[in-house]
Chain A
Amino acid sequence: MGVAPATAGDAATRPAGAARSAKARVSGVSLYAAREPIYQREANGPWQRLRTVVLFALAGFYVALPWLQWNGRQAVWFDVPARSFYLFGLTFWPQDFIYLSWLLILAAFGLFFFTNLAGRLWCGYACPQTVWTRFFMWIEWLTEGDRNRRILLDRGPWNRRKILRKTAKHTAWLAFSAMVGVTFVGYFLPVRDLVVRIVGQSVSGGEWVFLAVASLALYVDAGFMREQICKYACPYARFQGAMFDRATLTIFYDAGRGEPRGHRRRDLSPAAAGLGDCIDCRLCVHVCPTGIDIRQGTQFECIGCAACIDACDSVMHDVGLPKGLVRYTTESALAGKPLPLLRPRVVGYGAVLLVVACALAVGLARRMPLDVDVLRDRTTLYREVGAGLIENVYTLKVMNKSQQARTYRVSTQPPFAVASATDITVAAGKLGELPVRVRIEEARLDRASTSLTFAVQAGDDPLVRVQHESRFLAPAAVANRSDADDRANHGH
Chain B
Amino acid sequence: MSGGWSLWIATIVVINVVGSAWLLLWAGTRREGDDEGPKTVGHAFDGIEEYDMPLPRWWLWLFVGTIGFAGVYLVLYPGFGAFPGVLGWTEVGQHEAEVREADAKVQPLYAAYAARPIEDLARDSRAVATGRHLFANTCAACHGADAHGGVGFPNLADDDWIWGGDPETIQTTILGGRMAFMPAFAPALGGEQGIREVIQYVLSLSGQPADAQLAEAGKARFGTICIACHGPDGKGNKAMGAPNLTDSVWLFGGTAADIEYGLRNGRSSKMPAHADILGNDKAHLVAAYVYSLSHVGAAE
- Residues of A in contact with B (beta carbons under 8 Å apart): 1-6, 10, 14, 18, 21-23, 25-27, 29-35, 225, 228, 231-232, 375, 377-380, 383-384, 386, 393-395, 419-421, 433, 435-437
Contacts and interface: CB of A to CB of B under 8 A. Distances in A.
B148 A393 contact: yes
B267 interface: no
A31 B28 contact: yes
A31 B34 contact: yes
Contact of A393 (B55, B57, B141, B144): B144
B142 interface: yes
Interface of B: 25-34, 39, 41, 52-60, 132, 136, 140-142, 144-151, 248, 253, 299-300
Contact of B27 (A26, A31, A378, A421): A31
Q: Which of A21, A380, A437 has the most CB of B within 10 A?
A: A380
Contacts of A1: 53, 55
B145 A31 contact: no
A409 B64 CA distance: 62
B144 A379 contact: yes
Given A29-B28, A379-B141, A437 B146 contact: yes
Contacts of A27: 30
A345 B58 CA distance: 39
B131 to A, nearest CB: 13
Given A379-B141, A395-B136, A30 B30 contact: yes
Nearest to B253: A384
Nearest to B33: A6
B41 A4 contact: yes
A384 B255 CA distance: 11
A420 B299 CA distance: 7
B30 A4 contact: no
Contact of B248 (A30, A386, A395): A386
A35 B30 contact: no
B60 A2 contact: no
B247 to A, nearest CB: 12
A377 B34 contact: no
Contacts of A419: 300
A412 to B, nearest CB: 15
Contact of B28 (A21, A30, A393): A30
Contacts of B150: 379-380, 383
B146 A26 contact: no
Nearest to B50: A1
A435 B146 contact: yes
B132 A232 contact: no
Contacts of A379: 140-142, 144, 150
A433 B54 contact: no
Contacts of B57: 29, 32-35
Given A10-B33, A31-B30, A421 B300 contact: yes
23 contacts: A3-B54, A4-B41, A5-B27, A10-B33, A14-B32, A25-B29, A26-B30, A29-B57, A31-B34, A33-B53, A34-B57, A375-B145, A377-B140, A379-B142, A379-B150, A380-B149, A393-B144, A393-B146, A420-B146, A421-B299, A421-B300, A433-B136, A435-B144
B30 A25 contact: yes
Contacts of A23: 31
Given A5-B26, A35-B56, A383-B150, A377 B32 contact: no
Nearest to B60: A32
Contacts of A225: 58
Contacts of A6: 31-34
B254 to A, nearest CB: 9
Given A4-B52, A32-B56, 8 more contacts: A6-B34, A22-B33, A26-B29, A32-B60, A228-B56, A379-B150, A380-B145, A419-B300
A29 B60 contact: yes
Contact of A32 (B59, B248, B253): B59
Contacts of A384: 253
The 4 closest A-B pairs by CB, nearest first: A435-B146, A29-B28, A26-B30, A32-B57
Contacts of B151: 383
Given A377-B144, A386-B248, A393-B144, A35 B32 contact: no
Contacts of A231: 56
A46 to B, nearest CB: 33
A228 B58 contact: yes
A377 B33 contact: no
A264 B53 CA distance: 36
A226 to B, nearest CB: 12
Nearest to B141: A379
B239 to A, nearest CB: 28
A6 B30 CA distance: 10
Contacts of B54: 3, 31-33
Nearest to A396: B145
Contacts of A232: 55-56, 59
B56 A22 contact: no
Given A4-B41, A393-B148, A435-B145, A35 B58 contact: yes
Nearest to B155: A383
Contacts of A433: 132, 136
B145 A377 contact: yes
Contacts of B32: 6, 14, 18, 21-22
Contacts of A18: 32
Q: Which of A225, A378, A379, A394 has the most CB of B within 10 A?
A: A379
A24 to B, nearest CB: 9
A420 B25 contact: no
A231 B26 CA distance: 25
Nearest to B48: A241
A394 B141 CA distance: 12
Q: Which of B25, B26, B29 has the most CB of A within 10 A?
A: B29
A4 B144 CA distance: 68
A393 B299 contact: no
Given A377-B144, A378-B141, A437-B148, A31 B29 contact: yes
Contacts of A375: 145
Contacts of B148: 383, 393, 437
A32 B145 contact: no
B146 A3 contact: no
B59 A380 contact: no
A436 B26 CA distance: 70
Nearest to B42: A4
B142 to A, nearest CB: 7
A5 B33 CA distance: 11
Contact of B144 (A21, A32, A380): A380
Contacts of B31: 5-6, 22-23, 26
Contacts of B141: 378-379
Contacts of A393: 144-146, 148
Contacts of B147: 435
Contacts of A228: 56, 58
